Structure 1
């Protein structure tokens, strides 16, 4: 028996039907879980200073506590490839739904535990080690969540709504960043610094953990994907180690996804995460103004994820890549070259580049199609997480060093990735339907 092709498994049949009630339920619950899981992962950084003060010895210098705390944060990124590969391995063998639910559980429990952990004052050196252990579990969970969510939704969606479904899901995931920011602003507005230090810092972690467990329960109402059910019926669930198959037969597809992950990680890390600090340090923009502009850009990024996914359905993925990532290159220069500007110009140019950064949703649109269903979860997870661990980790350091010689370094780097994205639209393997398919 022959296996399903990448194109056959890209979305559920029939291709021409509209999204129905079950599709919207699948999309809504998947996006909600992704939002909460990404919130749980990034909320750590919003309270890094408080955690550093509470979980390390008071006698330790401030810079050392900050370094140790950021090291624990980075451990989550280092754990992503391991968790992603393990979860994806069983997702290709045991089913998408089981691993999709497990990834949320593995994020929710450690987040809840962090909110309940005793501090250094209570248990000494055990406190930072427990914090590290919880962060590693979070990293493993996020490594499986994003690829798993993309595969799960793509294999449910009708082909004509494939890009819109994946774009909507991706917008939900990026919305987790915005949710974490809003919770941080709310907490600092309602409670005093002393109250946050004493107990209120626990609130965002406990809330994230509780709502994550609710999401675990809600995902029980989702159904296994039609593609995996068909593989089971045809007895085509591959018992060979999926990663072995990927490394032997799908190296080219892995390169495509890795390069597109480089674009995604640059866009998110530089434009969304790195730039607020850059605005304050290089152009002396007030923190409140920089964060306000960043919040608006995060909203337009979320909207952009849906738009560029929808456009790939209407005009084809190649056209969406050329317009989306080409626009990101142009608007990056428009934004950074006009700094510091006025508050109004800062907000609208930041919002504009944020909208084009939403073209990151085209990575899963292409990436899911790039692998056959039997090893799809593993192929996407392995390529995405390994590339993100490398590029996501190196990009902040590279840009920080580069900007010492040229303050426009962020613009050059983001624009270069935009050009790469346009070039990826004309990848020779487009004939296979990964890119050109409408």
Structure 2
């Protein structure tokens, strides 16, 4: 039940968060002036998408502190209910045509609340799940948690593909874009389950069954986890935890959120069935994840992550070029290139989950992990789609590959 609660919370919360990216072209037309180019509208929409990531370190700090002082379950409940509220409000927002610039401000506000929520949710879910499992299987169970986030993103992509297939552009811009956001209320059921079914006593009982007695210290809550998180002996691990996720955060949003819009709107002619290609690649990513996580339990986190990081560094830019120059000729070419990206990201991202949790002592674990991971998300993930769109517009279709290489290099340095 503990694992199911963590994974399902991730699925629904990341569905809510990712839907914005998949509808960024429509949102750009609905919430910004119409007398501008489509590329500019997409960039403005991705800028708002990135703005939510600025709140993620704040969410990680606040909700992580709550998790270390009041319990992991409490932190997870708060983040889930915040996301349900923000996503439902997103589906009710008035458009630019209705209230002008005020619509942009409301859009930013709702996205900030979403960023605050998701900044605490993923790491709360990860720590909540792993601390109830044997440490020699953390790679596998950590991959389930992150795979849940990927499944949520996949679900958002499938909904986007279905609505674009069934509705006209006028219908999408009038009311169709609201549907996936209003369905975000479903996430509240996971919060209700956590609050009233999965009790704190059950959590403690499960954790006492661990083989490692040091893990029992999880429930001896510190008086000030923030002080411990930023202590001198913790700073090296904290810096590494902010560098290692860079390639995962930036690589994921470029490869599976931005790339869907890139194949649909920024390539002329577009890749056939671009959102279908993207959804298929996300499905494969979810399959690779448990395999890579289990492999890291056998041969070590660093070996698997290093192989994935080097592959992404060398081949990532080439695969993007392949999509840019030849994806329009065949959807299978684009699918094959995205599959390569998904495999390398799985080899990095799946072991990374356990690696992050193992890097810190239990007393300030959630605070430390949340700060490091969400700083990486703010720096490498949030504005990557915006920067990639700008690079394509100003330099050329091969330019985003430079961004991938930079992120991979920084993450490999942090790992070693």
Q: TM-score range by the shorter chain?
A: 0.7 to 0.9
Q: Secondary structure at the match of 1:116?
A: coil
Q: 1:248 aligned to 2:231?
A: yes
Number of residue pairs the alignment of both structures matches: 399
- Which residue, 296, 299, 306 being the options, matches 1:312? 296
Q: Distance in 2 between matches of 1:399 and 1:123?
A: 30
Alignment-derived partner of residue 339 in structure 2: 351
Q: Distance in 1 between matches of 2:262 and 2:161?
A: 20
- Which residue, 65, 74, 80 being the options, matches 1:104? 80
CA apart distance, 1:283: 6.4
Q: Is there any run of 5+ residues in structure 2 with no aligned partner, and where? A: 209-214
Summarize the Cα distance change of 1:126–1:108 in structure 2 as closer, same or farther, 3 Å threshold: same
Q: 2:80–2:187: 8 Å Cα contact kept in structure 1?
A: yes
Summarize the Cα distance change of 1:46–1:402 in structure 2 as closer, same or farther, 3 Å threshold: closer
CA apart distance, 1:361: 2.2
Alignment-derived partner of residue 212 in structure 2: none
CA apart distance, 1:357: 1.0
> Whose radius of gyration is greater, 1 or 2?
1
Q: Distance in 1 between matches of 2:313 and 2:240?
A: 20
CA apart distance, 1:380: 0.6
Q: 2:46–2:386: 8 Å Cα contact kept in structure 1?
A: no
Alignment-derived partner of residue 303 in structure 1: 287
Q: Secondary structure at the match of 2:245?
A: helix
Q: Distance in 2 between matches of 1:193 and 1:321?
A: 42
Q: Secondary structure at the match of 2:53?
A: helix
Summarize the Cα distance change of 1:374–1:331 in structure 2 as closer, same or farther, 3 Å threshold: same
Please report the TM-score for the alignment, with normalisation by the length of structure 2: 0.84
Alignment-derived partner of residue 360 in structure 1: 349
Q: Secondary structure at the match of 1:219?
A: helix
Summarize the Cα distance change of 1:67–1:269 in structure 2 as closer, same or farther, 3 Å threshold: closer
Q: 2:51–2:382: 8 Å Cα contact kept in structure 1?
A: no
Q: 1:257–1:363: 8 Å Cα contact kept in structure 2?
A: no
Bigger drift between 80-89 and 414-423 goes to 414-423
Q: Distance in 2 between matches of 1:355 and 1:40?
A: 24
CA apart distance, 1:233: 8.3
Q: Distance in 1 between matches of 2:381 and 2:366?
A: 21
Q: Distance in 2 between matches of 1:183 and 1:409?
A: 30
- State how 1:65-80 maps to structure 2 within 5 Å: 69-80=45-56
Deviations 1:299-358 (A, max 9, x none): 222222222111111222122223332333344255246453452333223212212211
Q: 1:304–1:357: 8 Å Cα contact kept in structure 2?
A: no
